[in-house]
Amino acid sequence: MLRASFQSTKGLPQFHTSRSSKCQFFVYLCRPMASANSLREKLEKISPSEKTEQVIVQYFANPLLYELGFDDLEIRPQFETGCGKVDFAARKNTEATDIFYNSQKNPYLFLEVKSRTYDLSEGSSTYEEAVDQVKGYLSRERSKSAKWGIITNASYIQIWRKHGKVVHPATANLSINPDNIETIVRDLRNKLENYERALTICVYNNKGGVGKTTTIINLAATLATKKKKVLVVDFDSQGDLTRSLGATPGKITLTQCLKDPKIDVHAIVQTYKLKGFSIFDIIPRDPELETLTDSRAVAYIPKGTRRLRDLIAPLRNEYDYILIDCPTQWLYFSQSGVFAADVILIPTRPDDLSSLNNAARVITSFVPETARSRQDGGPIALPTFFNGVSSGSEYTIKLANEEIGKLIDQEKSVDLRPYFWPHFKRGNENKSIFRIPDYAVISSASFDRRPAVFRDRRVLEYYQSLAREYFIDE
């Protein structure tokens, strides 16, 4: 079999051939840009049972990359990520001396190609393997600049977005055919060219007393110390977050904004300041929010639980992180917060059996329910963590892990191990769970209306570790 290899001469690739039992054929140079119609035609030529990956590369993957806006010198096949070679990497060239094909530096997008006999349908074990593969590619040091990963076998396609350490779906796993490929590719290109700045995080557990509000306040402050621009949204009618920061609603309120889509959301954004310095922005809760029972919310708020997502949409390019606080009960406010998020961060307590069971319920029921409603691949749950861990609690953590083991064994529809034991692997049964210790200064910080991370260096260090564990890629 012939393999295309390339050497750079005066900035231009030249074509050579070599023989290898494991080589792949890349029809790569001197081709006209694919049009949506030609992509449709090429897709029609691929057999539904095509077993050869190289055919998918030639007739679909290469034309797809062209249609997404990349040319030959912006595409590199068989790109070494540091944990294996992804089929293609791509990045726009910004100047004559910055040719990605030659430099292979700062990739922007990865494309992993499978044959049509490789099952990429949602929920299949091979689909999960492909997702883990792309997440692995995106997580490596050499891939730090990469923002997107695409998986396709010319029957299904899905794009994943990387924000810091978080990799989450930017679309559902889409079934493709000649009739819809034009629309799908147009939507994918729009996502690539209009990368949203913010990661939206809802901190939620269907159990009170796990420190959701405390987590949001201190995580927001910690991210701010990392020079990130942060917005927190108090979508809990009780308003604990608003009170803890000493915020008060302005003349225009969150409730008014929810009811009237014509109001500019910027009118309700305030800035939390400490000693005259701006720390992060906040959308405070207002008293009228407490009157919005489930039935009243349905009656008075357009789009129901979808409204919050639409409300904050204009802000997603103005912040690095948007953190949403919502109440415990799985009703309008919590459903809205989860619906608006890219990812769900779930605090638990090792000494609270109910918090562990309810975390499992969020992962197996509420998040999938929301994803079915949204139909865009999100949100997804992040691994749980232990909040408020007291000193000398190793025995309690041992009991908690035993309970988690039971939950994992009982659950048949979702593998819970990545959510409770994210470092657990075959041959390395690491059951460690990230912990935030219980310090009196954390719970008392709300009395002087400032985050605990600004009162105690140890608290700041723990929340910096939390940010690095889940969000900050440094």
pLDDT tens, position by position, 440-465: 778 777 788 899 999 999 999 999 99
Q: Has residue 282 got a pLDDT over 60?
A: yes
Task: Average the pLDDT over 39-44 and give the result.
Answer: 87
- How high is the pLDDT of residue 137? 97
**In the chain, how long is the greatest CA-to-CA distance?**
73
Q: Has residue 30 got a pLDDT over 70?
A: no
- How high is the pLDDT of residue 35? 54
Domain annotation for the chain: domains and CATH numbers: 2-193 (3.90.1570), 199-470 (3.40.50.300)
Q: Has residue 49 got a pLDDT over 50?
A: yes
d(CA 278, CA 442): 21
- How high is the pLDDT of residue 36? 52
State the amino acid at position 316 in one-letter form: R
> How far apart, in Å, are the Cα atoms of 66 and each of 29, 59, 62, 378?
12, 12, 7, 27
State the amino acid at position 49 in one-letter form: S
d(CA 119, CA 414): 18
Task: Name the band, by pLDDT with cuts 50, 70 and 90, for residue 9.
Answer: very low
Chain mean pLDDT for the chain: 90
State pLDDT tens for residues 57-77: 999 999 999 999 999 999 999
pTM: 0.90
Q: Has residue 170 got a pLDDT over 70?
A: yes
Name the nearest CA neighbour of 345 among 459, 253, 436. Answer: 436
**Parallel, antiparallel or unpaired: strands 75-80 and 85-90:** antiparallel
Task: Average the pLDDT over 91-113 and give the result.
Answer: 94
Task: Average the pLDDT over 82-110 and give the result.
Answer: 94
Of 292-301, 329-338, 389-398, the range with the lowest mean pLDDT is 292-301
Contact 309, 303 (CB under 8 A): no
